Structures are given as structure tokens and as C-alpha cells.
């Protein structure tokens, strides 16, 4: 059940965001309940609302997890590259969740700026985790410029719509059989995560569905189990769909049978 | 007198100072942070030799929750 990312072996297939929890304590408890080994964080100006800086970092330090900083909010390759360089110094990691947003309404990635930033950051030694649409050509370009993992969206960030285009995700799985694929964004219910894992995806990155649940800690556990179920189902071999009924109980020896 | 914009707020400095001095003044204590000047990242190793110029826009960022 283990998998690899950038030379590291992981057991959990759940990557968890740290934003929008009702409190830092709840966030910390949800991280524990999820059994995640990778959490996402960001960089922002210092503020005084308690979600920033030292208080946040003190909670994170209690967990034995890999840190995946993001470039959330960046609208150009230049902004994203500068943010990534700052994140590398602050968090002492060459991992970067590369987000370059192209539309304020949908928070859809700008594929042109994304590929440009991915190329430069890969050249500078980053392991780039690109938040992308499910467009096959964009994903091919990201691989060409040095990415070794792809993170297509399931749906717009925070929408909770689940997998809008399972066909496209299945196509990516088929096209990149050996590339770690992570659905990033749009997951609302544990069943959505399970569905993505049943398609053969390697991981799920989510945040809002856990953080905004009535009980974020319980929901973190629910996603953990759903992701494990989907992964196990995929590996076990899921029954192909067919258009006709097929009785499961043997015909042989059927009572009240007349020729 | 020089004027800078630090984390979105305009400040006036009586004299030119280094980035090292500026971060000692403005950075939160015992906190991780990184700095960009005019949208260019400046590594800590260059703080001593980097002077803050009139009109500079400086961002000092710290860890925060993120998705």
C-alpha cells in the first residue's frame, strides 16, 4: 500500500491542508486523525488573528509530517517563483505546491504561467507539485519541463463538487501509468476521494471538506478510511461495467425449473 | 528621508539602512520569515549587504495555514 514521492516512501495517500479550521487545536487533531504524512502550508504577512506565525508553527512542529508549501494566490509565474524561493528558505524544503491562478472566479490554474514557473523552479532544483487542470496536453508539458508528479483538479477549489470529469482523470491515469497522480481540489465528500482512488490515483489533497465539516476530526478519519478503501479496491481489481444483467447465484440446481 | 512600503504599509526612514537592520526592527521575534524586495527574493545571506532604497517595496512573509 506504500507509494513514493520524490524518493520518499509514504503509507498514507491523503495530503491535508491546514486552512479554514475553526481553531488551531482542531486543525492539529484533524491532522492526527487523518494519519496524513504530508500537510500543506503557505506564506503570508504576519497578522494578529492567531492563525499566523508562531502559534500556527508551534502546532505544526508537533507532527512528524512532510511540509508542502504552496504558492496560493499567485497570479503570475514571477510571483509564484518568488514565493517558492521564499518558502524554500522558511520551510527548508525543496518541495513546492505550485499554484498560479488564472481566474478569480473559478480559481482555475493559468496553464501558460504554470508551465513557465514549473520549468524555472525545476531548473532551480525544486520538486514541483503542480496544481493543474485535467488537460492532457498541459500535463504533458508539465512533465516535459521537469515535474515528476501531477495534481489535476477534481473541481474548483473549495467547491466540494467532487470529480467533474472522471473521463479526463481516467485518461491521465492511462497516459501516465508511472507518474504519481494526486487529485487536488474540489473534493467534498469521502465518496469523492474514494472514487478518485478507485480510478487509480495515488493520492488526494484536500482541505475545506475536512476543515469546514461540523466535526473536522471525525471527517478527517472518514476521508482516511475512504481513501484506503478506494485504493484497496483499485488494487483488488474493480468489476468492469456491462450493459446486461448476470445472475450471481448458480443456475445449476435451480428449484422449480422446467424444461 | 526615504520612503518604503513594508507589507503594504508606507513607512518613512530617517536614513538608509540594511535589510538586516530592517528585519531586526520589523520581523517578529523567534519566528521564521523570508523577505522579497521589489518582488525579488533576497536570501538571508545577503541581508547585511543589501541596502533599503527609497521607493522599495518589501514583503516579509511568515508561515501560515494553507490548502
Give the tens place of pLDDT for each residue, A227-256: 999 999 999 999 999 999 988 999 888 888
d(CA A21, CA A32): 14
Establish whether A207 is an annotated binding residue.
yes
> A192, A5, A187, A165: which is closest to A96 by C-alpha?
A5
Check A19 against B67: CB less than 8 A apart. Answer: yes
How many angstroms away from the CA of B29 is the closest CA of chain A? Answer: 9
Give the tens place of pLDDT for each residue, A112-152: 999 999 999 999 999 999 999 999 999 999 999 999 999 99
How many angstroms away from the CA of A254 is the closest CA of chain B? Answer: 57
Q: Is A24 helix (H, G, I), strand (E, B) or coil?
A: helix
Candidate CATH numbers 3.60.15.10, 3.30.930.10, 3.10.20.30, 3.30.70.100; the one for domain B2-61: 3.10.20.30
Q: Give this complex's ipTM.
A: 0.96
d(CA A40, CA A87): 12
List, in order, residues 6 or more apart from A199 with CB less than 8 Å away.
A163, A166, A169, A170, A173, A234
Check B36 against A87: CB less than 8 A apart. Answer: no
Which candidate from A20, A70, A82 shows the least CB-CB separation from B39?
Answer: A82
CA angle, corner A185, sides to A82 and A91, nearest 5?
35
Give the tens place of pLDDT for each residue, B44-60: 999 999 999 999 999 99
> What's the pLDDT at A259?
67
How many angstroms away from the CA of A73 is the closest CA of chain B? Answer: 11
Chain A hits for B6, Cβ within 8 Å: none
Establish whether A237 is an annotated binding residue.
no
Check B32 against A60: CB less than 8 A apart. Answer: no
Which chain B residue shows the shortest CA-CA distance from A39? B67
Question: CA A78 from chain center: how many Å?
Answer: 24
Provide the terminal-to-terminal Cα distance of chain A, rounded to the nearest Å. Answer: 50
**Contact by Cβ (8 Å): A10, A4:** yes
Give the tens place of pLDDT for each residue, B7-49: 999 999 999 999 999 999 888 887 899 999 999 999 999 999 9
SS (H, E, C) B3-67: EEEECCEEEEECCCCEHHHHHHHHCCCCCCCEEEECCEEECHHHCCCCECCCCCEEEEEEEEECC
How many angstroms away from the CA of A227 is the closest CA of chain B? Answer: 18
Establish whether A214 is an annotated binding residue.
no
Chain A hits for B62, Cβ within 8 Å: 43-46, 52-53, 90
What is the mean pLDDT of the segment spanning A56-77? 96
> What's the pLDDT at A52?
59
Helices (H), chain A: 24-34, 53-60, 77-91, 111-123, 136-144, 166-175, 190-198, 208-211, 216-236
Asked if A97 is an active-site residue, the reply is: yes
Each domain of chain B, given as residue ranges in start order, spans 2-61
Q: Is the pLDDT of residue A50 over 70?
A: no
> What's the pLDDT at A81?
98
How many CB pairs lie under 8 A apart between chains A and B?
Answer: 101
Q: Is A166 helix (H, G, I), strand (E, B) or coil?
A: helix
Check B39 against A207: CB less than 8 A apart. Answer: no
Place of cell 477534481: A154
Chain A hits for B43, Cβ within 8 Å: 89
Q: Which of A78, A97, A161, A254 is catalytic?
A: A97
**Contact by Cβ (8 Å): A8, B58:** no
Establish whether A185 is an annotated binding residue.
yes
Q: Is A165 helix (H, G, I), strand (E, B) or coil?
A: coil
Amino acid at each position: 500500500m506504500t507509494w513514493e514521492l520524490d524518493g520518499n516512501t509514504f503509507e498514507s495517500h491523503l495530503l491535508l491542508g491546514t486552512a479554514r479550521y475553526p481553531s488551531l487545536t482542531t486543525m492539529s487533531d484533524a491532522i492526527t486523525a487523518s494519519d496524513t504524512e504530508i500537510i500543506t502550508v503557505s506564506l503570508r504577512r504576519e497578522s494578529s488573528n492567531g492563525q499566523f506565525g508562531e502559534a500556527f508553527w508551534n502546532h505544526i512542529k508537533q507532527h512528524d509530517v512532510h511540509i508542502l508549501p504552496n504558492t496560493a494566490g499567485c497570479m503570475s509565474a514571477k510571483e509564484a517563483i518568488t514565493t517558492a524561493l521564499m518558502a524554500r528558505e522558511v520551510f527548508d524544503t525543496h518541495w513546492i505546491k505550485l499554484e498560479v491562478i488564472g481566474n478569480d472566479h473559478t480559481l482555475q490554474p493559468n496553464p501558460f504561467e504554470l508551465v513557465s514557473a514549473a520549468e524555472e523552479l525545476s531548473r532551480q532544483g525544486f520538486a514541483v507539485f503542480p496544481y493543474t487542470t485535467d488537460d492532457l496536453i498541459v500535463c504533458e508539458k508539465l512533465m516535459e519541463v521537469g515535474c515528476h508528479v501531477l495534481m489535476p483538479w477534481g473541481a474548483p477549489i473549495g467547491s466540494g463538487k467532487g470529480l467533474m470529469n472522471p473521463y479526463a482523470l481516467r485518461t491521465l491515469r492511462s497516459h501516465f501509468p508511472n507518474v504519481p497522480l494526486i487529485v487536488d481540489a474540489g473534493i467534498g465528500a469521502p465518496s469523492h476521494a474514494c472514487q478518485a482512488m478507485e480510478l487509480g490515483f495515488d493520492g488526494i489533497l484536500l482541505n475545506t471538506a475536512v476543515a469546514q465539516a461540523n466535526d473536522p476530526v471525525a471527517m478527517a478519519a472518514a476521508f482516511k478510511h475512504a481513501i484506503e478503501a478506494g485504493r484497496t479496491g483499485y488494487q483488488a481489481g474493480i468489476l468492469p461495467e456491462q450493459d446486461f444483467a448476470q445472475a450471481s447465484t448458480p443456475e445449476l440446481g435451480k428449484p422449480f425449473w422446467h424444461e | 528621508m526615504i520612503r518604503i512600503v513594508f507589507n503594504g504599509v508606507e513607512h518613512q526612514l530617517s536614513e538608509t539602512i540594511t535589510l538586516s537592520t530592517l528585519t531586526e526592527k520589523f520581523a517578529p521575534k523567534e519566528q521564521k520569515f523570508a523577505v522579497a524586495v521589489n518582488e525579488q527574493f533576497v536570501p538571508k545571506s545577503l541581508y547585511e549587504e543589501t541596502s533599503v532604497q527609497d521607493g522599495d517595496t518589501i514583503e516579509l512573509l511568515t508561515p501560515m495555514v494553507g490548502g
